[in-house]
Amino acid sequence: MTPTSAQLDAQWMPFTANRAFKRAPRLLARAKGMYYTDVNGNQILDGTAGLWCVNAGHGRESITEAIAASARDLDYAPGFQLGHPAAFELADRLATLLPGDIDRVFFTNSGSESADTALKIALAYHQANGEPRRVRLVGRQRGYHGVGFGGISVGGIENNRKAYAAQALPAVDHIRHTHDIARNAFSRGQPAAGAEFADDLRRVIAEHGADTIAAVIVEPMAGSTGVLIPPVGYLERLREICDQHGILLIFDEVITGFGRVGAAFASDKVGVLPDILTMAKGFTNGAAPMGAVGVRRKVYDTIVDAAPGGIELFHGYTYSGHPLACAAGLATLKLYETEGLFERAASLSSYWEDAVHALRDVPGVIDVRNWGLVAGIELEPRPGAPGAFGFETFTRCFDRGLLVRVTGDIIALSPPLIVEKEQIDQMVDGLGKVIAEVAT
């Protein structure tokens, strides 16, 4: 049923131009497999896995059945001083999937909560470790770590920060981003140039002293800012610098986790182990809100063992480890394993790479970049109207039955991992035609 004008007015939509949307709403009614269906019955090929999260495709019955069964048996269970079996089962299952000795899991409800939780854990670790001066947090330009005050403080997308900057966290610095279109345009996979950008962390260390820095937080691949892929050696160098100076390294894998880059996590893909790893999105295939923070054993043990007794970490959420979300998470991880979806993403990555780089010669395209089953197509901004080219491309694609994501003048593609080669061709062909039309 299509909402009335009054009903449309009632909701204040997130990250949306509300006035423009409500004049011409784009309303989804159903979803199955690779497709959405809108309220008018039009089918839309999902080129974005919803919002980077529906990695196993839409309407997976094993997940919905698990949620329904949980709702019948246990609709809610408090997580403070109480628990329920599914939460422990899910944490244990996730611990076997996480890289290295990251085997302790704290449940959240979103990527934003995961980021803020990770920052608090980092601060608590240094307090427990006898280094209370380590309070400074280091993010990265163009980074996105959700919308909590911690996340926007370490985040580096200015539009997300500027209205709230007066109350952002005080002891925060940012190192430079990794985007270098002059040297790395049309890179296939990780760009060859740019490992040295990690050395900007040494500038922050020299300015403030390593003994004041608690943690560095980065996305292995910066997704929401426009698919900025880590140069070869960059993450390795960050790890090396952090190790030299006793700084915790946090990987925000809310987007890159659960198969998106052709491995369980980007950490696995590049062979770099962070101290703390955040996740959400693909954790439950988007079927229920859930996130988590994984920590290495030394981090957990240091915090817990240093506490004199009682509660060791004064932090948590009413819905941490919610029974329905745990049911969705368990069913999703089982689906990933039984269908080999992470391996499938890796096997499709070469075909995907060739397909998206065919957009190189489309008018208006100034860069194409890819990693796993992700692509960023950067468009030439219109003079005096940044973002206009990208947004018009987004709306025209939707009208023609293709869902893409837009950030400024960058189009992002990140389809469900069940995508077929024919659907890849359909996405790329449809997007190319729209870009060419909008460019002329």
Q: Round to whole Å and give the CA distance between 310 and 299.
A: 18
**What domains can be seen in the chain, in order of their start residue?**
5-56+340-439 (3.90.1150.10), 64-338 (3.40.640.10)
Q: pTM above the 0.85 mark?
A: yes
pLDDT of 79 above 80: yes
Provide CB contacts within 8 A for 100, sequence distance 6+: 267, 273, 296
Strands 136-140, 172-175: pairing is parallel
pLDDT of 1 above 80: no
Question: To which residue do tokens 């039984």 refer?
Answer: 338
Per residue in 264-296, pLDDT (tens digit) is 999 999 999 999 999 999 999 999 999 999 999
Per residue in 355-401, pLDDT (tens digit) is 999 999 999 999 999 999 999 999 999 999 999 999 999 999 999 99
Per residue in 193-206, pLDDT (tens digit) is 999 999 999 999 99
Instruction: List the one residue out of 251, 295, 252, 287 whose CA is nearest residue 272.
Output: 251
Cβ–Cβ under 8 Å, residues 351 and 420: no
Residue-level pLDDT at 4: 82
β-pair partners for 31: 36
Per residue in 133-192, pLDDT (tens digit) is 999 999 999 999 999 999 999 999 999 999 999 999 999 999 999 999 999 999 999 999
Q: Is the dihedral of CA 170, 144, 230, 180 positive or negative?
A: negative
